[in-house]
Amino acid sequence: MLYFTDSYALIEFIGGNKGYEGYFTGENDIITTKLNLLELYYFLISRYSEEKAEEYFASFLPKVVELEDEHLKDGAKFRFTHKKQNILYIDAIGYELACSMKIKFLTGDKEFEGMPNVEFINGR
């Protein structure tokens, strides 16, 4: 099965959260966007090192899908509709991309818990 992984899921997987392992191996596969890799890169240089950031950026780069204008617009609409939940633009865009591709949005971000089309895994 294919999943869209947000930055939260990528960080949890790298951090060794066992709940995410099965999504990155075996018959499952993931996709993400360069925006999510941007967040991941920042997190890794701030917590670990630029070398680790470079390593993971390169390893996830083949999993990147390009964003279309409609994904950006739909993300903005989703964020506006859910403005009380304080959902970030990058997450809103990723969620809408996953919905448009009819795949699950993999996250542990509490703002998405209980939403349709979300595979929620507790983290941190």
Taking the model in full, what pTM does it have? 0.93
Side-chain half-sphere CA neighbours of 92 within 13 A: 18
For 18, the token pair is 């066992």
111 within domain boundaries: yes
Q: Is the pLDDT of residue 118 over 90?
A: yes
pLDDT digits 0-9 by tens, 72-102: 999 999 999 999 998 999 999 999 999 999 9
What residues make up the domain containing 54? Answer: 2-64+102-120
Instruction: Report the 10 Å Cβ neighbour count for 54.
Output: 13
71 within domain boundaries: no
Q: What is the domain count for the chain?
A: 1
Q: Name residues whose C-beta falls within 8 Å of residue 40's C-beta, 6 or more positions apart in sequence.
A: 7, 10, 11, 14, 53, 56, 57, 60
Start-end of H helices in 30-107 = 34-47, 50-60, 69-81, 89-101
27 within domain boundaries: yes
17 within domain boundaries: yes
80 within domain boundaries: no
